[in-house]
Amino acid sequence: MGSRQQSRDMKPPPRRHVIFSALVSACVLLYSASTSAQCVMCRASLGSNSSFIRNFNIGILVLLVPPVSMFCAIFIWAFRNRKS
């Protein structure tokens, strides 16, 4: 009986949320082809110099550290303060 009560209380998301989600999904799909092309361009510009490719990959990892650490810090803060 409890599941029936929950199903009656649950409302479908408003129409504007569904439209917004569809627009965001369409934008992601439209821009994904140009993003893949950028990876090919970087690989072609690096050539066959293996040490430069290795340094390039390390540089990408170094550039990932600040946004990932900021995301983790915000997530941990939000998780610890979720009840207040």
Model pTM? 0.45
Distance CA 84, CA 81 (A): 6
- The pLDDT confidence band at residue 53, using thresholds 50, 70 and 90, is confident
**pLDDT (tens digit per residue) in 10-49:** 666 677 778 888 888 887 777 766 656 667 777 777 777 7
3-state secondary structure at position 42 = helix
Q: In the predicted model, is pLDDT for residue 3 greater than 60? A: no
Contact 46, 53 (CB under 8 A): yes
Q: In the predicted model, is pLDDT for residue 6 greater than 70? A: no
Q: Looking at residue 71, what is its pLDDT? A: 93
- How far does Cα 35 stand from its chain's mean position? 14
Per-residue tokens: 39: 């990876």
